[in-house]
């Protein structure tokens, strides 16, 4: 009988805890949606302000698999990120997180606007894709904005970044 009471008590406590947890999860679901909405609207505003396009993880993968010549630029720090993992074939060029309205070599690892133009090349109609770590990271926004300012026409931002790339199960490269 004592064993029954203990089991019954534990079951009642378990049901109570699960009830509280599900209420907490329901609240989290709605709060998470506000966060998603905020991130989506922020991204749309950046894209509108920057004058570039965006593409999804699946679209980037399909583009790379198509064999079309594209330039993919990782805008994350070399040592902390790019060296460890990047989209296959991507080149690295650091941009800062806050909007970079004027060229600032402090935010680009000492590189100049001329260095950036050299990386992008003379063909202003080529497809260029910028990415960073994840949707909220704005380094890729800065890279895309500067490419548009310099006259490049087919500029894209891949907002999901390396996190979405890896999350989709696609292979990445590292620097040995």
53: three-class secondary structure by DSSP: strand
Structure confidence at residue 35 (pLDDT)? 86
- Percent of the chain with pLDDT strictly greater than 90: 74
CATH number of the domain at 52-167, please? Answer: 3.40.250.10
Do residues 110 and 127 lie in contact, with contact meaning Cβ atoms separated by under 8 Å?
Answer: no
Residues 150, 158: Cα–Cα separation, whole Å: 19
Residues 90, 87: Cα–Cα separation, whole Å: 6
For residue 7, give the H/E element and its range: helix 2-50
Residues 126, 93: Cα–Cα separation, whole Å: 17
pLDDT (average), residues 118-123: 98
Q: Assign 29 a pLDDT band (cuts: 50, 70, 90).
A: confident
Q: Assign 149 a pLDDT band (cuts: 50, 70, 90).
A: very high
100: three-class secondary structure by DSSP: coil
Residues 101, 89: Cα–Cα separation, whole Å: 28
Structure confidence at residue 93 (pLDDT)? 98
Q: What is the mean pLDDT of the chain?
A: 88
Structure tokens at 17: 């805890």
Residues 118, 157: Cα–Cα separation, whole Å: 19
The domain limits of the chain are 1-50, 52-167
77: three-class secondary structure by DSSP: coil
Structure tokens at 113: 């606007």
């Amino acid at each position: 009988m004592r064993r029954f009471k203990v089991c019954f008590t534990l079951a009642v406590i378990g049901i109570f805890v699960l009830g509280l947890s599900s209420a907490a999860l329901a609240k989290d679901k709605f709060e998470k949606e506000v966060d998603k909405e905020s991130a989506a609207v922020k991204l749309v505003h950046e894209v509108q302000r920057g004058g570039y396009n965006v593409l999804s993880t699946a679209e980037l993968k399909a583009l790379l698999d198509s064999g079309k010549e594209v330039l993919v630029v990782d805008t994350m720090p070399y040592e902390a990120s790019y060296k460890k993992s990047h989209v296959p074939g991507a080149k690295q060029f650091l941009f800062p997180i806050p909007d970079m309205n004027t060229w600032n070599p402090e935010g680009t690892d000492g590189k100049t606007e001329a260095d950036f133009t050299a990386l992008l090349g003379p063909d202003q109609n080529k497809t260029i894709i910028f990415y960073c770590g994840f949707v909220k990271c704005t380094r890729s926004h800065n890279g895309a904005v500067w490419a548009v300012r310099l006259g490049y026409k087919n500029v894209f931002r891949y907002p999901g970044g390396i996190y979405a790339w890896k999350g989709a199960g696609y292979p990445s490269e590292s620097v040995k």
